[in-house]
Structure 1
Amino acid sequence: MFLEWWTGVGLTGLSCLVLIVAVGLGRKMTHASREKNSPFECGFDPRGALRLPFSLQFFLIAVVFLVFDVEVVLLLPLVVVMVKGNPVAWGVGGGGFLGILMGGLYFEWHQGALNWAW
């Protein structure tokens, strides 16, 4: 048992040593240059800003849409519980989930995240 443990430790150490040597040799073989470090632009030098301005309001609307869309998908199993399950379980689970959903909608509305046309 003691020999098996040392064999595992030795193989792990040898693997780490081989990995360190391989990474060290790999770094020496790459030659950094201005062209290799620049983004690929079909042979042209990039000019100006690489990032375009983005509307934060549009991003917030997209995130709110995705959150509420996922919550609607989470509501679909409640139909199966309503048909085949206990009505009390449906009322407690579904009512709590819809309450949280409506609370989130009220919060987003109150914060002004849903006012995209002004």
Structure 2
Amino acid sequence: MSVLAAADRLAAGSYVPIAILLLLALLLSGAMVAASRYLGRRLKAPGKFTPYESGMDPRGDARDRFSVKFYLVAILFIIFDIEVVFLYPWAVHFKQLGLFGLVEMLIFLGILGVGYLYILGSGALDWDRGGLYERRAGDGAE
């Protein structure tokens, strides 16, 4: 019984330094935030209230129409990113899977390859041909 009590005291005592460090970190960060708030300068510059646009002045409406190709590229990225998610566990267990695993992965890559060739053939990644959703002259959206 005394061995268990000593072990419990030892286990509880091993968390004391971590608790002290956590308390010190919270106190120090709180003191820095308070010092910054009360001692720092308050500048009311109009530039501080404009949205950041990569160092350029924002112009136009944020709800402008833009090409659907941006969505298409995002979807294609997700599809081929998921392909990598399936390839990684296959590569890790390649030796255990043997020839069956190799054939299955070649079929999977073949299906994705056909999809990729379709994407290239349809011009989905050809940005020079014009967007899928471009403004037309005279449609009233200017």
TM-score normalised per structure 1: 0.49
Q: Calculate the TM-score normalised by the size of structure 2.
A: 0.43
More helix as a share of residues: 1
